[in-house]
Chains A and B, each alone.
Chain A
Amino acid sequence: MLTALVFTPLVGALVILFMNKEKEQQIRRTALAFSLIPLLIVLLMAFQFEPGAGMQFVERYEWIPSIGVSYYLGTDGISFPMLVVTALVTPLAILASFSITHRVKEFFALFLLLETGMLGVFVALDYFLFYIFWEVVLVPMYFLIGIWGGPRRQYASIKFFIYTLAGSVVMLVGILALYFASGLGTFDMLAIAEHGRLGRFDPTFQVWVFLALFFGFAVKVPIFPFHTWLPDAHVEAPTGGSMVLAGVLLKMGTYGFFRIAVPTLPEAAAQFAFPMALLGVIAIVYGALAAMAQPDLKKMVAYSSISHMGYVVLGIAAGVAGGSTMAMNGALFVMVSHGIISPLMFFLAGTMVYERTHTRMIPEMGGLWSQVPVVGTVLAFAAFANLGLPGLSGFAGEFFTFVGSFPVYTTLVIVGALGLILTAGYHLWMMQRVLLGEPKGSPGGMVDITGRELVVSVPLMALTLALGIFPPLLLDLVNPSVVALINQVQLALGGF
């Protein structure tokens, strides 16, 4: 089932490659159809998924037995929500990209290839496979930015590529170190993690490997100060690219902590928990301040992503250091919540607002709400969701993260909570200048929301609302796996 999930988009990409490039509409529809299949599969899986039953839908075949590489897939409560997010956001991003007219065939083929990579990262349980998927994600995104991007696409795409490649190469070194040092002769993630938890890695070795993995993941998240590729990439990326970049790609980094760094190197993770929490809180406050300073709407959202990923990092750190289930649940909740809110924000900034105002510069906008009330309401919804309004998913995630981390890192949480005021501040200031006031620029003639925009934004809004009102929808999936993870870590640390 997971194989079908992961490779359907790849099949779609191949099908598109054999299509006539003149038939653009047909290509678009094919791409959409092939991206909807994973969504269906994920929904089917959701019915069979048993929270707390460990790895499920496992598939395992020998692949390169000589070095212990196997084709090993599986999903648990930590990765399954990310599969849902990926499978949901990708078709919406594809739909949002229907307005692409330049080299349509390549665009959609690459997009589907990207989806295979993303889904693969979240289900791979073999380091070799994991690394392949990890790199598969990199290449299509590089082309999406570099070919279909904005005016500074060359700079942005190369920066993105080199920066994240540097991260993944260092991560690879870490992975290889784990492989050789464990002496198990296997790339099996779970087996190596088990080995690590039994304390069979030398403490100094743990520290070095953790640092290597940390760098790899930190670039992806991105954690301050490794974040500067993100605003450039987002500003230049086409809307669809921004949507998956913010919605899914960033989460690969934090997922790496959940799946690899924390369970495999618990002692080093505990050792680095405080610096991580500190970086998380710096990201929350720093990202919010930097967002406030941006006149470019897309850049503002990009910095807001950095700020929000800070919650995830804080939650992970508190979960490791203090054994706080709530903090870690909160971190995963923020991953999912931000995974649906940020694509909506980028869709607004890159398409819904941009195609009406023909600018991304906030000071050049104004009075949008009175001109296009429905578009205005969607933007207001997204902004309030992003600033953590209770009743919407962002609040639940931030609430759990903060409340869970509070006993562990009291001072840091208080500083982070002050960031909430800044977060409200820059969103309100943005709305003041974009939505409210007298209309600026081209008077009249704006069409309110189109059908396609409605189809893209409504599912994201509905899910944001549903998770905000009734968190158990997600929490019940996540909680047992997080409890298991925390128990493993605590056991390894001798905490129990």
Chain B
Amino acid sequence: MAGLAWLIPLLPLASWLYIGLPSHRASTRYDRVGIGAVGIAFLLSLGVLWDVIRGGSAAASFTWAVHGSTAITIGYQVDGLTAVMLVVVTLVSLMVQVYSLGYMHGDRRYKRYYAVLSLFTFAMLGLVLADNLLLLYIFWELVGLSSYLLIGHWFEDPANVRAANKAFLTTRAGDVAMFIGIMILFSQTGTFAFGELGELAQAGAISAQALALGAILLFAGAVGKSAQFPLHVWLPDAMAGPTPVSALIHAATMVAAGVYLVGRAYPVFAASPEAMQVVAWIGGITAIFAATMALVQADIKKVLAYSTVSQLGYMMLGLGLGGYTAGLFHLITHAFFKALLFLGSGSVIHATGTQDMHQMGGLIRKMPITGWTWIIGSAALAGIPPLAGFWSKDEILLTAYYANPTLFWIGVVAAAMTAFYITRATWLTFFGAPRDAERYAQVQESPRVMTVPLVILAVLAATVGFLGAPPLGAPFAQLVHFGEVHHLEMTSVVTWGVTAAWVLGVLVALAIYAGGWISRQRIISGLRPVYTLLKNRYYIDDAYDYLFVKGSIGLAYVVGWLDRVVVDGIVNGVAAITRWFADATGLFDREVVDGAVNGVADGVSVGSQAFRRLQSGLVQSYILAMAVTVVLGLAIFVIGG
């Protein structure tokens, strides 16, 4: 079965081609094609996973380019990590596509929407199957393309287009750094293949400096894709896309690609302590930094967006500190509960027509399925046992505790913030009195196609954590591990720290929003500067806008001016001087030289009468004359030479 893994991405590829090609058959149900393709892909992925669990694996490659005698090969490989990712990607994609039947119903670009979802699924599956950096990079850019197209799905609104451009360009900046990293590693090893690169790195065949630089630059690509500080700015704006897209691409799968890359190239990273430090610290900083911004968002999707950034930071933190299994396990659990939360928020937005939580409230009475599944997702995110997020976050913090106490405490504080902001969002949305009675009156539960995926994802968010639960033998670790499988001893500091974090977060949030024991206004006015700073995203977006966007365009105008006025000015100047010189020469020529010539000509014209008969106008005689000339010329040449 694992040998059939290459078929998995081809199914959505075929569906993309089918839906995407221009067609006049307007009545065809494109949505069914997309769902069918990803559904079969999901079943195949399950088969592959089953095979891999029983020890199966597969790999194949072929030559993509030959330079001199150096061949560049690309191919695919199936191991535990790939198999798990295949299942996650196809499952979430399937859920999202089913959900979109309801959410996107009647959309003006429904067909295009399903086409690009298929394209995305294809690219993401290709990305996880790639056995080398080059092929991964190719799919990496293709998922970026689909992300761009979907963020700008409603491109009539300029804000959406700006968000799409911001996403593409910010990640592109990371990608270029990653490309340079790939070039460094390739110039050192002559290969793009993960296997060989890992072996060479682990064997110390790459100089430490080049290895560190290469790995860090590779990580820069992950920083872009996984929206890590300082390239996190695009993800919150990416919420401009349709909400199911946010669930699939900007929460569960594509943004996880950066984490996946670090996991896939882990032998390279692990061989460089400097690179690992960078990964860990960037992850830790992002985890807490994004969590602070999630505290103050009014837009339900923005809360989830910053939460995603923060959780991806946890994954990087885990990976950077050597917690390979922990970081990747959080990737899996997060995929389910965050997809759930996004789809839940979509259900709310669908029903209320707004994203502003201050216009919601009390929705659980009207939308019980959405409400309760959301609560399960929130609890999983907050790390409340025994839901999925508890197990995975616990593992990461445990790793941090042993490896780097500072980062451990940062992680704990961020965990408290996580519990706070998601409790806040839950309360504002689903509980309390409705703050907008008019909206509330019209609210009704979403249709079955939307709630069924919510329920399925809620079940997964509740249970998938057990796959990594040490009391159950942590089956996930058996499948995805780096080096030997090892379990860290649980300590009371971690247990109490983690528990205190989520309890405190939940309680403070409830105290402010549910009980009203602490005045929200007083906190805001008491912490005015901090609040303003957070609301304005630490002014980072503004700074980038001035520095890079306006800077580049400004520089472009300078270059455009330079080109027109200076470079082309010189050309035109040369032309003008030449013309002046030509005029002067012309004058001289007309008056002086031609005067002499005319004199001579008068003389010649007399003599030329004699030659006139030669110009008979007969072609034959011309040819004859030419032939004679050539023969004479040759004769002279031969005799002379």
Contact = CB atoms under 8 A, between A and B. Distances in A.
Interface string A65-98: 1100000000000000000000000000000000
B155 A369 contact: yes
Contacts of B162: 432
B556 interface: yes
Interface in A92-135: none
Contact of B138 (A391, A420, A428): A391
Interface residues of A, number: 64
A167 B19 CA distance: 51
B145 interface: yes
A479 B67 contact: yes
Contacts of B182: 403
B155 A424 contact: no
A441 to B, nearest CB: 15
Contact of B169 (A294, A399, A407, A424): A424
Nearest to B188: A407
A439 to B, nearest CB: 9
B152 interface: yes
Interface stretch (A6-14, A195-203, A204-212, A284-292): A284-292
Interface of A is mostly: helix
B70 interface: yes
B537 interface: no
B560 A293 contact: yes
Counting chain B CB atoms within 10 Å of each CB, which of A384, A403, A418 scores highest?
A403
A407 B187 contact: yes
Interface string B557-585: 10111010001101100010000000000
A437 B560 contact: no
A228 interface: yes
A403 to B, nearest CB: 5
A228 B571 contact: yes
Nearest to A420: B176
Interface in B524-566: 552-553, 555-557, 559-561, 563
A471 B561 CA distance: 38
B161 A436 contact: yes
B633 interface: yes
Contacts of A384: 145
B567 A228 contact: yes
A290 B67 contact: no
Nearest to A328: B67
B187 A472 contact: no
Interface stretch (B58-66, B375-383, B443-451, B473-481): B58-66
A224 B571 CA distance: 12
A465 to B, nearest CB: 11
Contacts of B471: none
B559 A290 contact: yes
Interface in B282-308: none
B634 A290 contact: no
Given A228-B568, A228-B571, A391-B138, A421 B169 contact: yes
Contact of A476 (B66, B68, B571): B66
Contacts of B64: 470-472
A293 B567 contact: no
A64 B618 CA distance: 25
Contacts of B148: 428
Contact of A432 (B63, B134, B161, B563): B161
Contacts of B63: 472
A225 B158 CA distance: 37
A149 to B, nearest CB: 18
B173 interface: yes
Nearest to A472: B65
Interface residues of B, number: 54
Given A290-B563, A292-B553, A406-B183, A66 B67 contact: no
Contact of B156 (A370, A395, A475): A370
A471 B165 contact: no
A141 B549 CA distance: 39
Interface in B327-379: none
A438 B156 contact: yes
A437 B634 contact: no
Interface string A420-435: 1110111011001001
A414 B172 CA distance: 14
A321 to B, nearest CB: 15
Interface in A212-229: 224-225, 227-229
A436 B152 contact: yes
A257 interface: no
Nearest to A418: B176
A329 interface: yes
A162 B66 contact: no
B611 interface: no
Given A421-B173, A425-B552, A389 B179 contact: no
Interface in A460-496: 470-472, 475-476, 479, 483, 486
B566 to A, nearest CB: 9
Contacts of B155: 369-370, 435-437
Interface string B216-228: 0000000000000
Contact of A293 (B172, B556, B633): B556
Contact of A325 (B67, B179, B568): B67
B165 A432 contact: yes
Contact of B67 (A162, A291, A404, A418): A404
B571 A437 contact: no
A292 B66 CA distance: 35
B186 interface: yes
A290 B560 contact: yes
Contacts of A290: 556, 559-560, 563
A291 B555 CA distance: 11
A105 to B, nearest CB: 25
Nearest to B111: A373
A374 interface: yes
Contact of B556 (A159, A289, A399, A475): A289
Nearest to A369: B155
B496 interface: no
A166 to B, nearest CB: 9
A402 B179 contact: yes
Contacts of B138: 390-391, 395
A224 B570 CA distance: 13
Contacts of B559: 286, 289-290, 293
A424 B183 contact: no
Contacts of A65: 637
Contacts of B139: 390
Contacts of B503: none
A272 interface: no
A414 B161 contact: no
Contacts of B142: 389-391
A438 B560 CA distance: 28
Contacts of A479: 66-68
A294 B179 contact: no
B156 A66 contact: no
A329 B633 contact: no
B67 A329 contact: yes
B168 A428 contact: yes
Contacts of B176: 417-418, 420-421
A276 B153 CA distance: 43
A298 B110 CA distance: 33
B66 A406 contact: no
A49 B46 CA distance: 48
Given A426-B556, A428-B169, A471-B65, 20 more contacts: A163-B571, A227-B567, A289-B559, A370-B155, A373-B112, A384-B145, A390-B138, A390-B140, A390-B142, A391-B138, A395-B138, A395-B141, A400-B67, A403-B187, A424-B168, A425-B169, A425-B552, A436-B161, A472-B65, A475-B67
Which 9 pairs, one residue from A and one from B, show the smallest C-beta to C-beta distance? A293-B560, A292-B556, A325-B68, A390-B138, A436-B155, A326-B67, A228-B568, A289-B559, A293-B556
17 contacts: A290-B560, A292-B560, A293-B553, A367-B156, A373-B22, A374-B22, A390-B137, A390-B140, A390-B142, A406-B187, A418-B176, A422-B552, A424-B168, A436-B158, A472-B64, A472-B65, A483-B68
